[in-house]
Structure 1
Amino acid sequence: MKKKIALLQMDVTVGDVDRNYYHVEELVETAVKESPDILVLPETWNTGFYPTDHLPQEADKNGERTQTLLSQLAKKHAVNIVGGSVATLRDNKVYNTSYIVNREGTVISQYDKIHSFTPAKEEKFFQGGEQTHRFYLDEIPCSSVTCYDIRFPEIIRTTTLQGVDLFFVPAQWPTMRQRHWEILNTARAIENQMFLCAVNACGYIGKIKCAGNSLLLDPWGDELLHLGDSEEVAIGTIDLSVTDDIRRKINVFRDRKPNIYHLD
């Protein structure tokens, strides 16, 4: 089974919520010209990743605006959308939330970023999530985490043990740690023998430059796409028929010894 995936490496404008929603629509309209099966957005594209006291005013209340827009676009173009993440306001708390929308425009899953990036004091402004998620796009078992979550292999393995062939990582990851971004995503793809699509933002958050360098990786960790550091929409094709063969050749899931792993 082959699928075309569109990586929407967006230049997010911090604090200009209306502009960002409008620009997402522009990028989607550009991407669908190539008839992709799945569109993927970066992290906190509605507000930018800039934890401040203003977030409750800028965040999307109950995710309503985001879900409406993504649902309309998905249904209009009959395309699946992995909605990156947005700052949402629920019960007077701000969450870093991902919405997954299928071709019919139905929100089929959502995920709140679990691990707060404490060097940026994210935990003071965002409520952390408490659950992983797993979903199907065109019958493909999928999952996702958000940005800093990728540094915690336990959370990815927790989901992939249930069966995952395609994994998504939306982010706003800085240039100063670009090498970490590339290595961590590649390692997660290799160790879990899955396709991995990591879509990063570009542009600036204050003086900090987002790295871009979005990636589409196969289960060997080989790059199918590696974008630059500027705004870009790129399309890559994955061939899911190779996954079973790779897992037969090096069967890490069979060879695990969970009885001797102690992670607490």
Structure 2
Amino acid sequence: MRVALIPMRVKTGDFNTNWAEFKKRFDDVLAYNPDFLVFPEYCLTGFEEWDFSGAELYDEIVKRVSSLVRKNGVYVVFGLLEPYKNCVYNSALLISRNGEVLLKHRKFQEPYKFCTSNTVRTARTEYGKVAIIICGDLYNKRILKWVRRKRPDYLFVPMEYSPDYGQPNEEDVEAMAERVKLLGAKAFIVNSYPPGGAWVFDADGTLLASAEGDKTLLWEGQP
């Protein structure tokens, strides 16, 4: 099982620039024959409070990413804004090798102007059972109960850790490790750039691999 974590540069409100970056990073990493490509939270639109206009691109984004995935036969995890009735979810999708949406997660840990979710779902792949949570969900008590109940083998975590906080430091990584240990699933975490960064933790919270900035982190291990 090969996983590519891609801390993509995201320009808020500029879909065309973000799509060009997404496509370039996607194409570049194919040389390593990955099974999963994991991109950050709302990576194709960015988000600035409280501009939800990026949600209008939901259908177009799903169409484009699904087509790209179908042509290359890989799994892709990425975040995007999802319109729903009179509000918006901060969502993340797992697109299967055939270009279908295999799994959707709607974020729990969001301010009141977002819709928020109340469940965690899993999907079966040839490598085992997978789930997705998003950024601050990692520290959510309800998420902890759901993940421990569902018992996924792998947990994908797209993030958008604000550059205003500076680069994730040792304490931040230790906090991630503690949460992963409680969740009890191997976790793949990728942040948007800046400040970027990517981390792979074993189910017991051990840090297995990491990368800084916008460097792609390639991980290979046994399912």
- 1:69 paired with 2:69, answer no
Q: Partners of 2:145 and 2:208 in 1: how far apart? A: 23
Residue 134 of structure 2 is matched in structure 1 by 146
Q: Partners of 1:46 and 1:149 in 2: how far apart? A: 20
Q: Partners of 1:123 and 1:22 in 2: how far apart? A: 32
2:90 to 53, 72, 96: 96
Q: Percent identity?
A: 21
Q: Partners of 2:22 and 2:146 in 1: how far apart? A: 31
- 1:237 paired with 2:211, answer no
Residue 207 of structure 1 is matched in structure 2 by none
- 1:166 paired with 2:142, answer no
Contact 1:60/1:86 (<8 A) preserved: no
Q: Partners of 2:99 and 2:3 in 1: how far apart? A: 17
- Describe the superposition over 1:183-209 as per-residue Cα deviations: whole angstroms up to 9, x where unpaired: 232123323432100011112xxxxxx
SS at match of 1:32: helix
* Structure 2 unaligned residues grouped into runs of 5+: none
SS at match of 1:150: helix
- 1:183 paired with 2:174, answer yes
- Describe the superposition over 1:146-204 as per-residue Cα deviations: whole angstroms up to 9, x where unpaired: 1111111441332232221101111111353724541232123323432100011112x
SS at match of 2:124: strand
Residue 11 of structure 1 is matched in structure 2 by 9
The 5-angstrom pairing of residues 34-49 of structure 1 reads: 34-49=32-47
Residue 258 of structure 1 is matched in structure 2 by none
Deviation at 1:139, TM superposition (A): 4.3
2:112 to 113, 123, 126: 123
* Structure 1 unaligned residues grouped into runs of 5+: 117-121, 204-210, 241-264
Contact 1:43/1:146 (<8 A) preserved: yes
SS at match of 1:220: coil
- 1:59 paired with 2:59, answer no
Residue 224 of structure 1 is matched in structure 2 by 208
Opposite residue 97 of structure 2, the aligned amino acid is R
Change (3 A) 1:58 1:33: same
Q: Superposition RMSD on alpha carbons, in Å?
A: 1.9
Opposite residue 86 of structure 2, the aligned amino acid is N
Q: Partners of 1:232 and 1:107 in 2: how far apart? A: 27
Number of matched pairs: 220
1:196 to 183, 187, 190: 187
Change (3 A) 1:114 1:22: same
Query: With structure 1 as the length reference, what TM-score do the two structures score?
Result: 0.77
Change (3 A) 1:29 1:138: same
Contact 1:46/1:87 (<8 A) preserved: no
Query: With structure 2 as the length reference, what TM-score do the two structures score?
Result: 0.90
Q: Partners of 1:49 and 1:187 in 2: how far apart? A: 28
Which of 1 and 2 has greater Rg?
1
- 1:78 paired with 2:73, answer yes
Contact 1:59/1:94 (<8 A) preserved: yes
